[in-house]
Structure 1
């Protein structure tokens, strides 16, 4: 029975919430869906533009992927769909090969989503969810902040109505210098007003003036992007502000998303594969981070491998419905949770609303100013630009701080994918550097106890006959020579030394190179008539030692505890 329930949860996670679904939960999900849809419609179209695609594809990306995730994913409130970061990565992947917005570009975007989905699904089936741990939190934070800056820069062209290039900060500055004199002042004024509307009106409405509205106030504040959309459409329709050079979205085709496999060839797959791998990795990291945060608050279970599978199938759904890669959205997920969503049914309801919009109401948006969509993106994404983590990380760990700055400047000065790769590589290089320089301390006995501490930090008992050291790292080829050099240095300082005792309590693993280094040290010390001892050796390490000649050739002994070792070797000092 328990095994059957496990299989049901694994293959159809939605059963865990569907079996107890009721009218009360439906009402909560319906309300949250209405609030989320006010964000989703303008954001979906805006993020499609970021990806270099027609606005309607942003709506398509918000239908089938959300439905699939609702029944396969594990998070109760995660909102799957188009997001700024993945959109700009899509743009960066496709523009080297195709003209943005062209039919071949659109087909390639669908194929890219399909590839991302297949990669994520396969990794989930093979239980590679642990891969999220390969990217450190500081690198992820830096990557998101730098990407947010680039995304904001990419929207400036719609505010100025000039063709700016925002692939990296250098290209942006160069194109801004070239095209800034051709700025459309009317578009700029309209865009700035839109930004101020979205940035400051929520703060005003959050004051005591509308608190009497209770829960309705939340709905009003969250719906402000949609309010701005309809206000701007009204200005174009009734006052013809587009005659002043303010460009609009234009004709948007209506209809149900096309259910078809995107065109593909092996040559095209090979071209898109590196970008697909990067997008799959970033989308998983972003989605699982958001899902973990909400799962923790809701005390619900979350399986990273299951999330990979769900995210993979969601992207496959995007690929076969004329859309582009998707992932979890932080802003919409937070709104969804705050609005009281009880189950993933809120996402299904949101998808149904999007279908209705796609079928019957796309004509409303043809007179939507592009500057409004740009303002929507800039305001939502700029909240992520916070440099406090850089300062905090630098104070805590210089190595992590360096990795953050390398990632940040890599993304800004090169491009998003290359910057992330550089950040990940720098993390591993710094990790190897830390491992190669382990903390090694000479330790002594704390008087009246059987505990040993660093002689530079505590008042402890030591003996001229004994050198007690502790290495706080696994022994590998990276750091074994450091240990050897440390022992050589300490031995040279004490002509009366008879024993060297290595406290192995912090060593959980030892590789062949380190083992050979220990054998070399044992032989060298033996020539000096100094015995090498090991204490508090863990089981896995002892298993490795038994496979070597060290135990037979060891000039000293292996002791159960470090106190036992020093007490036996110098009972006068260590009573």
Structure 2
């Protein structure tokens, strides 16, 4: 028995780019890693806060996962690590069961990452990469926009220094109404100044006044969050702002992330499994979308199943290093690519830099104000809140527009996971509704050609002796009756009818229910002395029809082309 040959590069894509790795690529990857680290340190700590975890776990989530993806992943520039959306989903999964910040909460976050990794890995091994197609792009866009709103709202409590609840917008508004009088205005002003620093200063730097800094301007703007962090650290340290009520991160443990399996039990696994599956699906969709965009620009191959395996191993790495679920980051990937990264080695360098920060520089961040991290999250995430896709989608497709709005309000008014499930279910319901109402047209011949078009759209030749019908959908139990009703309507309009021809050019599959409906149409037409004909039947459909009784019982013929059918049945009209 011969076993299929497995290429090493298909299992370890790193083998391919390591073979021709050279000094120029090393320099490009090293420099891009330095630029990415300026974003990664503040983002990692900030997104850990979004997940309800200690800031150090955000750094842990950026070490082993990036190394594993660099070895197994297919994208040359994808940056794996903590992201706002997955952090919010982590929080939403854990908060119903555990007290935020408790040891059980932290251990469960690690277990959640492990479960996400196992699910993703198994889906990749068993080649379930096609699952990305189960979630439509409009639903994903709406889900991301609504989640961005919730993530931004979840940080308002750090700006106001009050215990707001932000599970959904209704609870948030109720909580805001209750706690607004207790606002710490010093913290609020500090946070607002940070937001202005991150939003106004980039516009100022992009003005003509700084044209001389054109080459360095991009790097400076991307480094602003890190500059803000060090500036706020200096202010807190030298002016003792903690005594004025400015809350800080507090003690951050230093050292290499501990390698250990998170505590687990079957009861705990069952609790976390639904959330883990949702996170695995969303993280895969987000990661593969980013990876596909970069692969398209770099003209490199990308295998969705291999990406699932790589994402799975990255999350398993996060789970055993005291971190939480990770995925591809759009902002860091774009910066990584723009900074000149040539290979995934840039991710490995970023991981090494994070290790150095974790070992020696965590004490620097102990006086970091929580309001600063909150401002960093709000500014970075608010860029995703864009309602133009809703308008564009509604104009193009009302069904997709409805799915978008339902998903948006589901996420905002219920919770992240429930909103996404509602969006996916709505998409499928609308899809089934569309399939059950297929486009069916009577077609006629365009004079002087052998082409047939819809009689309601074109000037065409027709005959009272026959009617040509085209259905632009596969035939299934959902729409077969619609075809039958259409045929009944057409024969009721014309008492002189002798032939009905169904053009099958748009039909790629006929299920058993539809086959039985066709047999019934054939029998009913035969009683009226009207013959049923089929034209332009595709090979796979014909193969299935040969296994049925329809071909033996068909009152008419099967024609290779529709023109051949009408010319044979009505030569005077279609000569």
TM over 0.5: yes
| Alpha-carbon distance in 2 for matches of 1:382, 1:202 | 15
| Alpha-carbon distance in 2 for matches of 1:540, 1:484 | 23
| Alpha-carbon distance in 2 for matches of 1:567, 1:560 | 12
SS at 2:92 equivalent: helix
| Alpha-carbon distance in 2 for matches of 1:151, 1:219 | 26
Q: CA deviation at 1:6?
A: 5.9
Distance of aligned partners of 1:458 and 1:85 in 2 relative to their CA distance in 1, 3 Å threshold: same
Q: CA deviation at 1:540?
A: 1.3
Q: What residue in structure 1 maps to residue 261 of structure 2?
A: 261
Q: What residue in structure 2 maps to residue 89 of structure 1?
A: 89
SS at 1:367 equivalent: coil
| Alpha-carbon distance in 2 for matches of 1:433, 1:362 | 56
Q: For 1:564-575, what aligned pairs fall within 5 Å after superposition?
A: 564-575=564-575
Q: For 1:498-509, what aligned pairs fall within 5 Å after superposition?
A: 498-509=498-509
SS at 2:469 equivalent: strand
Q: Indicate yes or no: 2:196 matched with 1:212.
A: no
| Alpha-carbon distance in 2 for matches of 1:30, 1:545 | 62
Q: For 1:165-314, what aligned pairs fall within 5 Å after superposition?
A: 165-314=165-314
Question: Which segment is superposed worse, 507-516 or 16-25?
Answer: 16-25
Q: What residue in structure 2 maps to residue 114 of structure 1?
A: 114
Q: CA deviation at 1:241?
A: 1.8
Distance of aligned partners of 1:352 and 1:291 in 2 relative to their CA distance in 1, 3 Å threshold: same
Q: What residue in structure 2 maps to residue 134 of structure 1?
A: 134
Q: For 1:309-348, what aligned pairs fall within 5 Å after superposition?
A: 309-348=309-348
| Alpha-carbon distance in 1 for matches of 2:307, 2:491 | 55
Q: What residue in structure 1 maps to residue 525 of structure 2?
A: 525
| Alpha-carbon distance in 2 for matches of 1:7, 1:452 | 49
Q: CA deviation at 1:19?
A: 1.2
Q: What residue in structure 1 maps to residue 363 of structure 2?
A: 363
Question: Which segment is superposed worse, 213-222 or 514-523?
Answer: 213-222
Q: CA deviation at 1:397?
A: 0.5
> Which ranges of structure 1 fall in alignment gaps of 5 or more residues?
none
Q: Deviations over 1:345-390 (max 9, x none)?
A: 1111111111111111111111100000001000100000110001
Q: Deviations over 1:65-123 (max 9, x none)?
A: 01111111011111100000000100011111111111011110000000000000011
User: What's the TM-score once normalised by structure 2's chain length?
Assistant: 0.98
Runs of 4+ in 1 over 3 A off after TM superposition: 3-6, 208-211
Q: For 1:543-554, what aligned pairs fall within 5 Å after superposition?
A: 543-554=543-554
What is the aligned-residue RMSD (CA, Å)? 1.2
SS at 1:389 equivalent: helix
Q: What residue in structure 1 maps to residue 437 of structure 2?
A: 437
SS at 1:401 equivalent: helix
Q: What residue in structure 2 maps to residue 398 of structure 1?
A: 398
Q: CA deviation at 1:211?
A: 3.5
Matched residues, number: 573
Q: Deviations over 1:157-191 (max 9, x none)?
A: 00111111111111111101111111111111111
Q: Indicate yes or no: 2:116 matched with 1:143.
A: no
Q: What residue in structure 1 maps to residue 61 of structure 2?
A: 61
| Alpha-carbon distance in 2 for matches of 1:409, 1:85 | 17
Q: CA deviation at 1:4?
A: 11
